[in-house]
Structure 1
Amino acid sequence: MKTYQFAHWLKGLMMGAGSELNRAQVDEIAKTLAHVDPDPDEPEEAKAKAWLEKRIKAIVDAPNEEREALLCKRLHRDLANDFAKHEAANDD
């Protein structure tokens, strides 16, 4: 799976979950992200994967459920905003 495919899948998952994920889901997302291979022909994919890894790690390492929920909501918002721009750019 490529980075943008993963991000699109994660965005859909979070839309279905109302941007609230439980600990087991976050752990599975982190495991899945470890298997994502950025497209070598798309230099922005490596940056996107690093960004996703940082955001997912922050959720995994959150000190309490309130902080975890806030970080999930922010990730959902950012995925919707950033990847909506990316998807629109590919509609040409």
Structure 2
Amino acid sequence: MTVLDDWTEAACAELGLDPADVPITLVLQLAKDVAHAVTRPAAPVTAYLLGMAAARGADPMAAATALASLTAAFPRPGTRA
């Protein structure tokens, strides 16, 4: 196990969640993409938004795919009019 796995298990236990329901790789990839394509502070905000969408019944993979598409289409820093 990694420190990330240990942390995820501990955080899930604290929040009453099942660690098996946490798509770690999906969240990390989305956060990485957002941090590089939008701005670094948007990465944790996006991860939170993904979690909120999932909590409200959205499929995490579908929500992450939608956010990844938005990220790809989002104007790059310094290119906004």
Task: Return the TM-score normalized by structure 1.
Answer: 0.33
Task: Return the TM-score normalized by structure 2.
Answer: 0.36
Indicate the structure (1 or 2) with the bigger Cα radius of gyration: 2
